[in-house]
Every structure is written in C-alpha cells, then in structure tokens.
C-alpha cells in the first residue's frame, strides 16, 4: 500500500480508503456483523488506514461495526465520519427493533421496496450547531472512541453554506476540535461545483467529492484549487456507483444510469485492452496526484480482495490514460 499526504494535517493516508456505507443496516447480507468486522480488520492488515463512514449509514450500525473492529489499535487508523442528516422518529426506532427484524427480513427474502415506509423513510438535514454537536457525541459513543479523526458535514447544499448561520456551525466544529472531540473537520459534497462555497471557510481541512471516469468535473481546476488551499482531498465514486461493473447487464445500465452511453464507450476500451473495467477505472482515478485518498465502497472480504487486486495491477500507460480521458470527456 502506498500513502499520500492529507493536506496540511500532516497525516499520511492510504491511496485507497474503505467506504463503509454498505456495512450494517437492516438488509445487510453476507454474514452480517461478523463478516463486516472481518472485512474491516483484513483491510487494515492490508495497509488501508482510512475508513469513511457516517451516522446515517445503516442507521448508525456502520459506526458501531467500525468501533468494534478498531477498539484495539485505534491510533493505527484514521476514522472519518459525517453528520448533518437526521432520521425521522420512525427511522430512529429501527435501531432498537433491528435485532428482531433483521433475521425475519433475511428469512423472508424481503427487498427494500417491500418494507414499511417507517423503516426506509428519507432523512432530513440539520446543520445547526446544536444538532452537529449532538451528532458528534452520538458518533463518539458508537465508535467507542474519545475522538474522531475527521468529522465531515454531510452533503450541505450551496444554499445552506451561503447562510450566515453556517458560520456558527463552523465555529461549533472549531470548539469541538479544541475540546479534542474531533481532530480535523471537513465537507463531504455532492458535486465538485459545490467546492467554491466551502472554500469561503479557511478552517476546513478537507473536502470529499465525486471523481472518476463518470465524474470528471473535478479536473476543471477544482483539484488544483483544493491543493492550493492545502486541503486533504477525498475522492469517491471511481466505479461510477457500480455502473462500470462488467456484470451489469446493458438493459439494467440503460435504465439506471443517465450516462449509459459513456459507460458503453468506456467498456469497449476496457475490452480492447483486455483489462477488467474496475481495474482500469481505479487506475485512472489513482493518476490524479492531487487526490489524497480514493474511497471504495465494500462490504465483504471477497470485494476487498478484488479491490486490492485492482489496486496492485499495472498503472495505466500514457496511451491508455489519454484514451480513457478523451472518450470520457467527449461524452460529458
């Protein structure tokens, strides 16, 4: 595993990080908690030291699993969590009934669409200082830790970041940093276009944004701007949310991915070079030296092993990189 500097923090983080959005939760399969903890521990042993989670992932269970996996050797990993979303009351109740409901869900083979709305209700957002402080306190308990390495505001929209009260929230994060509850704080954004709003606040240490063959907007000066501001850069989505997977049928791709034409063009390039799609997609993302860490979502040891193989594969040649970049850019 190779490591990169994380902005001005002085940290050195693994080039690929563990995206923990898919571990835990009511519909978790593949061995549940034991498999998730085993996967987290195996990732750490393989040299991955950056683990990205959020209080909303699995209604808090993602943080719980990370806390269990790293209760020993806590100082050997960087845990990045997020807050700003809040579950409706009915959603919060799921945390208490989940141990009883999850076995039934598995036994009956239920899908998310068939569950009652109270179990899958869409969350709202709250970036007030009061909510963020409570969210940090709750995350600390779930993580079984005295501190969170990096705490990120989770997808604040531009309208929120332009409000005067957003400065109060940033001030609250600064206070919690002085208290030692968080070591650094940053933003996890939905779009590279939102970065400019976050740059108005100099105390953010990092920004997370989409980047990959299906999300090239960060190459339009955004990465360079963040580097100039000495920000740690967390990139996510190099696999296109699964759209680049070799196993995804074309009919499903056309229905689920607005950029399906670009995906098909890229897959023809992958096939011509006789390299797995996800391998080339990851190697493309790794070429962006401004990026500190590329987050990859995974849930099982099998997925982890595959991702480590993609990471260990040969870097793209200059010709391969230019061909991918050219075709991806032409279909933007």
The per-residue DSSP string of 90-101 comes to: HHHHHHHHHHHH
**Would you call 152 helix, strand, or coil by DSSP?**
strand
Q: Determine if the pTM surpasses 0.85.
A: yes
**Would you call 204 helix, strand, or coil by DSSP?**
coil
User: Is the per-residue pLDDT at 125 higher than 70?
Assistant: yes
The alpha-carbon radius of gyration of the chain (Å, integer) is 20
Q: What is the pLDDT of residue 93?
A: 47
Question: Residue 187 pairs with which residues in a beta bridge?
Answer: 153, 207
User: Is the per-residue pLDDT at 298 higher than 90?
Assistant: yes
pLDDT digits (tens, 9 = 90+) for 5-60: 999 999 999 999 999 999 987 655 545 889 999 999 999 999 999 999 999 999 89
Distance CA 81, CA 67 (A): 12
Q: What is the pLDDT of residue 102?
A: 47
Q: What is the pLDDT of residue 29?
A: 53
User: Is the per-residue pLDDT at 71 higher than 90?
Assistant: yes
Going from N- to C-terminal start, the domains of the chain cover: 10-87+123-330
- Give the pairing of strands 78-83 and 50-52: parallel
- 328 pLDDT band, cuts 50/70/90, is confident
Which superfamily is assigned to 10-87+123-330 in CATH?
A: NADP-dependent oxidoreductase domain (3.20.20.100)
């Amino acid at each position: 595993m190779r490591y990169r500097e994380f902005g001005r923090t002085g940290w050195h983080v693994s080039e690929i990080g563990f995206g923990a959005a898919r571990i835990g939760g009511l519909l978790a399969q593949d061995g549940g908690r034991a498999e998730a903890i085993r996967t987290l521990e195996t990732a750490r042993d393989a040299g991955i030291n950056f683990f990205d989670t959020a209080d909303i992932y699995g209604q808090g269970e993602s943080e719980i699993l990370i806390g269990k996996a790293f209760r020993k050797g806590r100082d050997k990993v960087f845990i990045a969590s997020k807050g700003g979303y809040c579950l409706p009351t009915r959603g919060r109740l799921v945390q208490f009934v989940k141990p009883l409901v999850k076995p039934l869900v598995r036994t009956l083979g239920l899908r998310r669409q068939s569950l009652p709305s109270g179990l899958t209700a869409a969350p709202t957002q709250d970036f007030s200082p009061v909510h963020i402080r409570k969210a940090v306190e709750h995350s600390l308990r779930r993580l079984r830790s005295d501190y969170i390495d990096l705490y990120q505001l989770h997808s604040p929209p531009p309208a929120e970041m332009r409000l005067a009260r957003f400065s109060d929230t940033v001030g609250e994060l600064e206070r919690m940093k002085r208290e030692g509850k968080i070591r650094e704080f940053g933003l996890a954004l939905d779009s590279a276009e939102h970065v400019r709003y976050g740059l108005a606040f100099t105390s953010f240490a990092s920004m997370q944004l989409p980047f990959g063959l299906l999300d090239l907007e960060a190459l339009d000066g955004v990465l360079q701007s963040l580097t100039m501001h000495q920000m740690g850069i967390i990139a996510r989505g190099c696999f296109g949310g699964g759209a680049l997977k070799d196993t995804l049928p074309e009919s499903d791709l056309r229905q689920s991915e607005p950029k399906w034409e670009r995906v098909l063009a890229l897959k023809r390039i992958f096939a011509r070079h006789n390299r797995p799609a996800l391998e080339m997609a990851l190697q493309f993302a790794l070429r962006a030296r401004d990026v500190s860490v590329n987050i990859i979502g995974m849930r099982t040891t099998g997925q982890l092993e595959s991702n480590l193989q993609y990471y260990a594969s040969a870097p793209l040649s200059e010709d391969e990189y230019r061909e991918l970049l050219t075709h991806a850019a032409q279909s933007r």
